Amino acid sequence: MKRYKPKKWFIYTRLFVVFMVIFTLGRTTNVVYDVITVENKNEEKALDLAVIEDNKEDIYYEENPVLAKYLSLPEKGFNVTNTNMKYEISSEDYNLLVAVVSSESNKQRDDILAVTSVILNRCDASGKSPVEVITARGQFSGYLDGYYARYLNGDGSLTANTYLVQEVVTDALNGIRNNSYYSFRSWGTYSYSDNYITEYGNRFN
């Protein structure tokens, strides 16, 4: 009995059909895979953004550790920022600035920064240097009354008890501030302002 042999065109047609089925299934699988991959990536991105939003304050301070040293008190006008104008001054001017800030602040970190911020806010507004601001006529009693001198040695260097003030003033000159005020009075001037960052510190306005 003669065995049937399929014609070549029939064989090729079947092969072509099989190939197209495999190709189509493969494309469909890839599309499904791509869709799932995109969905997963979108979910991961949404999760990452949610985590960042929930922890943005901690992340901000981790990226800017110097800010964690200072207190923000928004209800009284004190917000710690690090994007302010920076100032480079000579060592002599630096020593004078630290001495004056020492004589004007209550020696607590946040009040020191608040006093220095006022000085630099005035610098920003007037275009004057920090020393020009603190030595201006009728402005800072710590300078005018000579109280600053107790924080300087005979050779003009700073005394050892100004270490904290030096740290804070250096931060401020590098752009750290905690307020946008332009003036302050001592703690006892109750009628002046209720804006203060530390008990028995200065009152700002």
In eight-state DSSP terms, residue 160 is G
Q: Under 8 Å CB-to-CB from 176, ≥6 apart: which residues?
A: 66, 67, 70, 80, 81, 82, 84, 113
The band of 36, judged by pLDDT with boundaries at 50, 70 and 90, is low
For the chain, give every domain's residue range: 8-54, 67-204
Task: State pLDDT tens for residues 161-199.
Answer: 999 999 999 999 999 999 999 999 999 999 999 999 999
Average pLDDT, the chain: 85
Tell me the pTM: 0.71
Beta bridge partners of 152: 158
Across 32-60, average pLDDT: 59
d(CA 183, CA 180): 10
The band of 65, judged by pLDDT with boundaries at 50, 70 and 90, is confident
